[in-house]
Structure 1
Amino acid sequence: MNWQETLSQLEQGTVRAAYQDEQGQWHANTQVKQAILEVFKAGENTSFSSPYQGFVDKHNLPTQAFTPERGVRMVPGGSSVRAGAYVASGVIIMPPAYINIGAFVDSGTMVDSHALVGSCAQIGKNVHLSAAVQIGGVLEPIGANPVIIEDNAFLGAGVVVVEGRVVKQGAVLAPGVNLTASMPVYDCVHEYQLERGAPIPENAIVVQGSRPVSSAWGQAQGLQMSCALIVKYRDEQSDAALELESLLR
């Protein structure tokens, strides 16, 4: 797979940087990620003309242009979608936002102001990425899984999801939640700790929490470490509070 073909297929959504197997597990598409690295290797720095005068990037990675026929609402104000990213019809991008190469953003999703969708991140249908949400990207190592946000998830303002964490369908991350590969997650409903790096379960509602440092010295100092807490699962009341207004789309 050559890099020119890969860029085209990524933008059309016919290939993706990650895939889901029959058991619902996500895996990095190493061939696609290797081809993306070849894009950078083949690219040469060049200056861009108006309206991007003064910017320098690889010549083969220009920002995408949108027309009404694509069905994407790209609101003016400094947003960019890099070459090799897929943005489906029905997506709304509020300024300023950035979607990087290899990312996949499915239909009905809102990418709000100051949001980042990093390289190879996979965002499902009808996802809400609130203001200042940061979805981490990954190109190297080749086998590293990207961040996955499945259909109908809702991420509150300032949420950070990095290091290949998976957020399953319908999950809600409250404002300020940070999820890394090592961040412990406790299910307060079913009273257990998720395995390290395990996906956030479907329809879970997650808030940022803290737990005491385990060492005697840390406890004596009253020190706390960050964690994430599943405090409930979605019900009719929470669904009503999160219902997206179709008129805005």
Structure 2
Amino acid sequence: MTTTFTSPLPPAIDELWERRQEITPSDTDARATIVQAVDDLDSGKARVAFVDTEAPGQPVVVDERAKRSILLSFRVLEMQESSMGDAYTHDRIPLKRRFDGVRVVPGAIARWGSYLAPGVVLMPSFTNFGAYVGSGTMIDTWATVGSCAQVGENVHVSGGAGIGGVLEPPQASPVVVEDDAFLGSRSMVVEGARVRRGAKLGAGTILTSSTRVFDAETGEELPQGEAPAWSVCVTANRVKSFPGGDFGMPCLLVLKRIEEGAEHDKLALNDMLREHGVNA
């Protein structure tokens, strides 16, 4: 926990975490506390992480208690069979049932404990346990939002894009995709990497927490594992020498800075990327 943030979830979660090896589904009091905590995540009353926009550098603040409630739920929930049409599931975590103001296209799946704000559009896709998706965001066909991933408002997650999950350890920062971002088709953002506000990733872009980031115009190396705010980025290669020879190692290349507040314009983005031989 940080010293400046107080979780909205009860301190009892921390007490249960300390004796987690003893907890079973038959512990009805523990089960009730944990289920209520996860339900608060499902309703948006609590969330796994958020960007502290008032602090220098706008750090990501993780609610460790929220992560603990998710991990504890696997100890108190028993396997159950459920159905969705002709499809069956056999799992500890049921499917989500709160979709107020959310458009859910047939084939979309979201698990209980994920939050979807009004105005979200789910094409046939998968949203995992503990994830948060802000208003106006589209999760396009075959895209995935991993466990505890935090996706902001007015984000477009294109077809087949993958946002990785970060569940353990509880204090680990999840993947964060901030407001107004664009993730191109088949791009992947994993391992707690961060896409800053308004950043656009070209098709097939890979961003991990250890990815080195470079500015194409200046050659400057930027913070590792982050797509800078209001920029257009693609995966590139940077030559590194090893005893066995010189090899191209993947990196994130910032092709261009764009005007702050620029809206998604797929055609304009495609034109911009095609100048450099890539697509959105």
Work out whether the TM-score is over 0.5.
yes
Match of 1:129? 157
| Equivalent position amino acid for 1:183 in 2 | T
Contiguous gaps of at least 5 residues in structure 2 = 1-9, 11-32, 269-280
Match 1:202 to one of 229, 236, 242? 229
Change beyond 3 A, Cα 1:33–1:66:
closer
Q: CA deviation at 1:50?
A: 5.0
Matching residue within 186, 210, 218 for 1:158? 186
Compute the RMSD of aligned alpha carbons. Answer: 2.0
Per-residue deviation, 1:241: 3.0
- 1:104-119 alignment to 2 at 5 Å? 104-119=132-147
Aligned to 2:276: none
Look up the match of 2:249: 225
For the structure 1 residues 240 and 119, does the alpha-carbon distance in structure 2 shift closer, same or farther, using more than 3 Å as the test? closer
Task: Name which of 20, 29, 49 aligns with 1:18.
Answer: 49
Tell me the equivalent position of 1:65.
97
Correspondence 1:1-249 to 2 at 5 A: 1=10, 2-21=33-52, 22-23=54-55, 24-49=58-83, 51=85, 53-58=87-92, 61-65=93-97, 70-76=100-106, 78-95=107-124, 97-197=125-225, 199-215=226-242, 217-219=244-246, 223-235=247-259, 239=263, 241-242=265-266
Following TM superposition, by how much is the alpha carbon of 1:243 offset from its aligned partner in structure 2, in angstroms? Answer: 8.1
| Count of matched residue pairs | 233
- Cα contact 1:66–1:74 (8 A) shared by 2: no
Shift of 1:53: 5.0
Q: CA deviation at 1:19?
A: 2.6
The sequence identity of aligned pairs, in percent, is: 39
Q: How much has 1:184 moved relative to structure 2? A: 1.0
Task: Give the secondary structure class of the aligned counterpart of 1:27.
Answer: strand
Q: Indicate conservation of the 8 Å contact 1:47/1:53, yes or no.
A: no
Shift of 1:150: 0.4
CA distance in 2, matches of 1:240, 1:5: 38
Distance 2:59 2:201 in 1: 21
Structure 2: which amino acid aligns with 1:207?
A: V
- CA deviation profile, 1:106-162 (whole Å, cap 9, x unmatched): 100000011110111000000000001100111111111000000000110001001
- Distance, in Å, in 1 between the alignment partners of 2:87 and 2:216 is 52
For residues 216 and 53 of structure 1, the distance between their equivalents in structure 2, rounded to whole angstroms, comes to 53
Q: State the Cα distance separating 1:216 from its structure 2 match.
A: 5.6
Q: Structure 1: which amino acid aligns with 2:34?
A: W
Q: Deviations over 1:78-129 (max 9, x none)?
A: 221100110011111111x011111100100000011110111000000000
Measure the CA separation in 1 of the matches of 2:188 and 2:181.
14
Q: Closer, same or farther in 2 for the Cα pair 1:179/1:18, shift >3 Å? A: same
1:178-231 deviation line (CA, Å, top 9, x unaligned)? 01111111112343112333x321101101101113226322xxx311111001
TM-score of the two chains, using structure 2 as the length reference: 0.78
Q: Structure 1 length normalisation: TM-score?
A: 0.87
